[in-house]
Amino acid sequence: MSGRGSRLRPEDPTHVGPYELVARLGSGGMGVVYEARARDGRPVAVKVVHAGLAGDGEFRSRFRSEVARARQVPPFCTAEVLDADPEAPQPYLVVELVDGPSLAEEVTRRGPLSAPNLHGLAIGVATALVAIHEAGVIHRDLKPHNVLLAPGSPKVIDFGIARAADPVTRHTRTGEVVGTVNYMAPERFDAPGTPLTPAADVFAWGCVVAYAGQGRAPFDADSAIGIFGRIMKGQPTLDGLSGPLRELVQRALSASPEHRPTARELVEILLDPGAERTEVLRDVFERQPAMLTAVHHVVPPDPAPTRRGKRALIATGVALTLALAGGFGFAADRWKTADKAFVLPSGTIALSDALASDGEWEASSVQGNQTFCRFADDRLLIQDLVAGRWLCSGPDLTVKGRFAIEVTGRIELAGSCLVLWFYESSDRRYSLDVCATAWRLQVEDQGHGDIQVVREWADNAAEPGKDLRLQVQVSDGHVRVGHDGVLVGEQSLPEPDLHGGYFDLGVAGEPGNQQSPFRVSFRNAEVRLTT
């Protein structure tokens, strides 16, 4: 579901439900996957069930239950389920369209992953399994083709053959074997009716990590029978792995399911830096910041170690500190740093714009085109020729109550500040100004134009030339701000008539800086209604 497909064939439909199909991404025994466009223009992936299966009552029942389960899987390192219609003439499932090659494509093209990328992959896929398993689902077909290397974090896709973890409701036909042999746990070959557990996915995780590290599956052989024999004898090849990661993969490939770690234990162990992993973990989270948010969701810092919690506490604190504090001085201030992690709640998308061309925000200019809002290099570039504040008007959207905003911003010229307007009343308007010297929550009198600083956080800075994923959460008048999973600060604004919007983006000069021009850029804006 990577957004790279082939042209539609003559037999392919042009629309499925409200979705316009634009390309064919792939097909399998269950159905065909298309790249499509939603009514709001958002790209999505639509999996349409084969017509021959749609008339099978048992299959439709299975599909209906799988959709219900898949909706419960939180989108942490997984492709988010957006919509589905199990009752359509040809049932379909709509998921997030992930931008990135599959692990299989990447390894085929470039060879085994580097040590930091391999460790990041191991963390990301294990994190996805935590989310999947805790929603009561077993993936059952985890393999390199179902792991996409998306920017920020790997994503596990394709719950098309996932089943409820409860063996009573698996809907699996007698004798039916689902999955790819090279990544199947030995218990998958047991007599029909043998209960399947999440440990089978942990086995597949070990196979996927081994493949990524050495360029071939650990039980690879010339035939399916040969693969089966090596799996049943417990004879993996792990030449491409070393140190603690090799030991963990070896445990995941244990012949007995009860001897394998759980997915949650995998994440906890992978986050424990030890003597060899400090630099690797720092590199992982610097390269893949979105993974920090996912990890913090599934393994939150625990202020009181429990029977299994001591390892989790140490591991999570160290890894988060490496990511948030650049890896310096983490031992002395571990818990203070970990407490600053910031995870935005999920919710209904009210607005999504890549900011690559005219859309919710439009190009404009004044002063001989020297002060402008302009789209270039898939970003909204904003420049002001004189000191002050210049905004690019956003969508005519207002929301009430609880909502969250995310947008990636970058200071293009030193001395400039990113500005996001997000909260207002009839006479007051609030903005977040992000500068190299500080973050400022400011309020503007809409009648007189006077601007006051409500709150300043001087311990945080925005480095010119570096992308920041700005995050704002509003919950009934309480505002929290941060970036890339890091909480910068929070403030209460107890004004009863405040509402969210209009969500304008702009540029300002650093206080006291008169050296124009001032220039910033933004991309990938999203507003969500949260609960």
Phi, psi angle pair for 108, to nearest 5°: -65, -40
Distance between CA atoms of 143 and 108, rounded to whole angstroms?
14
The DSSP line for 321-335 is: HHHHHTTSSTTTTHH
CA distances (Å), 151 to each of 211, 291, 408, in order?
Answer: 21, 10, 13
Q: For a pLDDT cut of 70, what percent of the chain falls above it?
A: 82
Query: Bigger pLDDT: 231 or 326?
Result: 231
Contacts 24+ apart (CB under 8 A), 257-260: 257/185, 257/187, 257/197, 257/199, 257/200, 257/203, 258/199, 260/199, 260/202, 260/203
Place of tokens 């790819």: 180
For 149-217, the DSSP string reads EETTEEEE---TT-EESSGGG--PPTT---S-GGG--GGGGS-TTPPP-THHHHHHHHHHHHHHHHSS-
Q: Is 378 a catalytic residue?
A: no
Q: Which residue has the tokens 């090596």?
A: 230
- Residue-level pLDDT at 168: 35
Starting at the earlier edge strand, list the strands of the sheet with 43-49.
15-16, 19-27, 31-37, 43-49, 92-96, 81-85
> 98-338 has which CATH code?
1.10.510.10
How crowded is residue 454: how many other Cβ atoms within 10 Å of its Cβ?
Answer: 13
Residues 213 and 190: their CA atoms lie apart, in Å, by 29
CA triple 303-119-354, angle to 5 deg? 85
Q: Which of 141-145, 363-367, 483-487 has the highest mean pLDDT?
A: 141-145
Of 12, 141, 358, 433, which one is the catalytic site residue? 141
Say yes or no to pLDDT of 324 above 90.
Answer: no
Strand partners, 15: 20
pLDDT digits (tens, 9 = 90+) for 2-60: 446 788 999 899 999 999 999 998 887 778 999 999 988 889 999 998 888 888 888 88
Q: Which residue has the tokens 């792991």?
A: 147
Q: Three-state secondary structure along 46-59?
A: EEEECHHHHCCHHH
> Which region among 124-128, 395-399, 519-523 has the lowest average model confidence (pLDDT)?
395-399
Per-residue pLDDT tens over the stretch 87-139: 999 999 999 888 889 999 999 999 999 888 899 999 999 999 998 988 888 88
Model pLDDT, residue 276: 56
Average pLDDT over the chain, rounded to an integer: 81
The answer for residues whose C-beta is within 8 angstroms of residue 473's C-beta and 6 or more apart is: 342, 344, 345, 403, 404, 479, 480, 481, 530
Nearest Cα residue to 454 out of 471, 436, 478: 478
Domain-wise residue ranges, the chain: 98-338, 347-530
pLDDT of residue 368: 80
| Distances, alpha carbon 34 to alpha carbons 39, 73, 143, in Å | 16, 22, 20
Q: How far apart are CA 503 and CA 525, in angstroms?
A: 10
| Whole-angstrom distance, CA of residue 409 vs CA of residue 304 | 37
Q: How far apart are CA 441 and CA 41, in angstroms?
A: 33
The pLDDT of residue 340 = 56
pLDDT of residue 277: 58
Contact 425, 495 (CB under 8 A): yes
| Helix 115-134 vs helix 199-214: crossing angle, to nearest 10 | 160
Domain 347-530 sits in CATH 2.60.120.200: yes
- Region of 311 please: left (phi>0), alpha (psi -120 to 50) or beta: alpha
C-alpha–C-alpha distance, residues 370 and 365, integer Å: 7
Alpha carbon distances (Å) from 524 to 40, 258, 372, 500: 15, 43, 19, 18
pLDDT tens-digit profile of 153-208?
Answer: 889 988 645 444 443 333 444 344 444 789 999 998 876 667 789 999 999 999 99
Collect all residues with Cβ–Cβ distance below 8 Å to 268 and sequence separation of at least 6. Answer: 299, 308, 311, 312, 315, 316
Q: Which residue has the higher pLDDT, 281 or 225?
A: 225
Residue 151 backbone zone (phi > 0: left; psi -120 to 50: alpha; other: beta): beta
Pairwise pLDDT comparison (325 vs 188), residue with the higher score = 188
Per-residue b/e over 417-426, b at no fewer than 16 CB within 10 Å? bbbbbbbbee
Q: At residue 330, does pLDDT exceed 50? A: no
Q: SS3 for 119?
A: helix
Q: What angle do CA 65, 71, 75 make, to 5 degrees?
A: 145
The predicted-structure confidence for 431-455, as pLDDT tens digits, reads as follows: 999 999 899 999 988 766 678 898 9
Q: What angle do CA 311, 315, 318 make, to 5 degrees?
A: 145
pLDDT, residue 322, reads: 36
Rounded distance between C-alpha atoms, residue 418 and residue 440, angstroms: 10
